[in-house]
Structure 1
Amino acid sequence: MTTSATETHFAAGPKILVLGATGPTGRHIVSQALSRGYDVTVLVRSPEKATDLEGAKLVVGDARDEKVLRQAVKGRDAVISALGTPASPFREVTLLSTATRALISAIKAERDLRLVVITGMGAGDSAGHGGVVFDKLIFPLLLRKVYADKNRQEAIIKDSGLDWTIVRPSILNNKVGRGAIRTLTDLSDFHGGAIARQDVATFVLDQVTSREWLRKSPLLTW
């Protein structure tokens, strides 16, 4: 593997591990990765939910289990996390931060890998830029505890010393991707937006071989 200022080159297609592969965005990531000729491994807790991920290698286990993660990252060039968690108005959420902490330990035990993680609009310094309905209703009533864990997750990633990129999509939808997206780090004039999961998957996969957004946290929107 050789690197340039903006790209990472692989002798063959990169070998990637996808977490959250059976989720709606994760499925797009796996499908597009396979179509690019990538060698794809997915970590799934329920293999029956992955029967349609034909072409990907399955590792069965919990994303919070460092032992399972060490097995899954072995021989990989990059890890993509599309892990999500349902809205949780009352119960504390710890899945994302716990799994991310275990993942980083597993990566460091194997070798340093490229890490691309999807969090969301509302995490970190993107808080307060989701528009009136998202910021005043959806976020405080349904997502406050989820995003508290996303913030812990982002802090763990940024403190890892790995080659990471955090991807913060605006409100996700299942429309056909447009191919043209905006990647924002200056959110001073941004208040709300939407983007297709298909476009997010394309951007995320591009980061496996690109260093343009290395150690940055772009917000994606149309």
Structure 2
Amino acid sequence: MRIAILGATGRVGKRVLHKALRDGHDVTVLVRNPDKLVELRPERLTVLHGDVRRPEDIRRSLQQAELLISCLSTDGGTVLTESMPLIIDGMKETGVPRIITIGTAGILQSREYPGLLRYETPDTRRSSTRAAEEHRKAWELLAASGLAWTVICPTYLPDGEPQGGYRAEKDYLPDGGMSISVGDTAAFTYAEALQQDYVNCRVGLAY
């Protein structure tokens, strides 16, 4: 498979990249700092230097892709809301039908407060909702795009290797879920890219 990955130098993205290369897929990554991937030079990897907020760079990264995996974070600013319209337009222009992105558990539905997202509830522990609002806008753009999309929404995300035994649930955080490792989040993201079990929905992820 020909896979494009955004955010490939991040915690989740780099693990997804390793899995895709291990399995022999042709992978194109768009990164601001190619030096962060200097140890990876297999023949099936194409590293493009660019910025996800530049439409020409997005189109370049999608030219040969069958699938896009975006592990972009909020980056402390508005990178998600700036880049998502460009990503959607680029996918439509280049004919890429499928996108999997990493979101946050804050944009899943609340069990206790029907009609609200988790970050909107009165008992939310978040001191700031800025990141959740960025993820929400990106999700809403995808939901209206007509593309085949999945937003994977891990809860608290400490570094760590895959343990297995995690739970996934459509649109909600699994009951009582408190954490999910970076390793298992990457494993689930990569598996969803291949299996397509959660098309056009958010997926809550936790142990």
TM-score by length of 2: 0.87
Structure 1 letter corresponding to 2:185: V
**SS of equivalent to 1:30:** helix
Question: What's the offset of the Cα at 1:191?
Answer: 4.7
2:114 aligns with none
8 Å CA contact retained: 1:173, 1:196: yes
Q: Tell me, what secondary structure is at the counterpart of 1:212?
A: coil
Correspondence list, 1:40-189, <5 A: 40-55=27-42, 56-86=45-75, 88=76, 93-125=77-109, 127-128=117-118, 135-136=124-125, 139=126, 141=127, 143-185=128-170, 187=172
Tell me the amino acid that sits aligned with residue 104 of structure 1. Answer: I
Residue by residue, what CA displacement relative to the aligned partner does 1:46-92 show, whole Å, maximum 9, x if unpaired?
Answer: 11222133332101100111111111101101000000134x5xxxx
SS at match of 2:193: helix
Q: Mark the CA change 1:17 to 1:186 in structure 2 (over 3 Å): closer, same or farther.
A: closer
Output the amino acid matched with 2:23.
Answer: R
Structure-1 separation of matches of 2:197 and 2:118: 26
- Structure 1: distance between partners of 2:22 and 2:143: 30
8 Å CA contact 2:171–2:201 kept in 1: the answer is no
Asked whether the 8 Å contact 2:65–2:96 carries over to 1, the reply is no
Letter in 2 for 1:77: E
* 119-128 or 37-46, larger mean C-alpha shift: 119-128
Partner of 2:5: 18
The match for 1:209 is 194
Cα distance in 1, alignment partners of residues 2 and 175 from structure 2: 35
2:15 and 2:191 map into 1 onto residues whose CA distance is 13
Letter in 1 for 2:69: I
Partner of 1:6: none
Q: Distance in 2 between matches of 1:186 and 1:28?
A: 24
Contact 2:169–2:204 under 8 Å retained in 1: yes
CA distance in 2, matches of 1:98, 1:190: 33
Superimposed CA distance per residue, residues 116-160 of structure 1 (whole angstroms, 9 cap, x where no aligned partner): 01011102425437xx9x932xx2x2x411111111000001111
Higher RCO by CA contacts (8 Å cutoff, separation 6 or greater): 1
Deviation (angstroms), 1:214: 0.8
Runs of 4+ in 1 over 4 A off after TM superposition: none
Distance 1:118 1:146 in 2: 12
Distance 1:35 1:160 in 2: 31
Letter in 2 for 1:28: R
Q: Mean alpha-carbon deviation: is it higher for 147-156 or for 47-56?
A: 47-56
Q: How many percent of aligned residue pairs carry the same amino acid?
A: 26
Greater mean deviation of Cα atoms: 175-184 or 158-167: 175-184
Q: Return the alpha-carbon distance in structure 2 between the equivalents of residues 170 and 176 of structure 1.
A: 16
Whether contact under 8 Å (2:173, 2:204) holds in the other structure is no
Return the offset for 1:186.
6.1
Partners of 2:84 and 2:60 in 1: how far apart?
15
Q: Which residue of 1 aligns with 2:25?
A: 38
Measure the CA separation in 1 of the matches of 2:103 and 2:202. 9
* Aligned residue pair count: 199
Which ranges of structure 1 fall in alignment gaps of 5 or more residues? Answer: 1-13
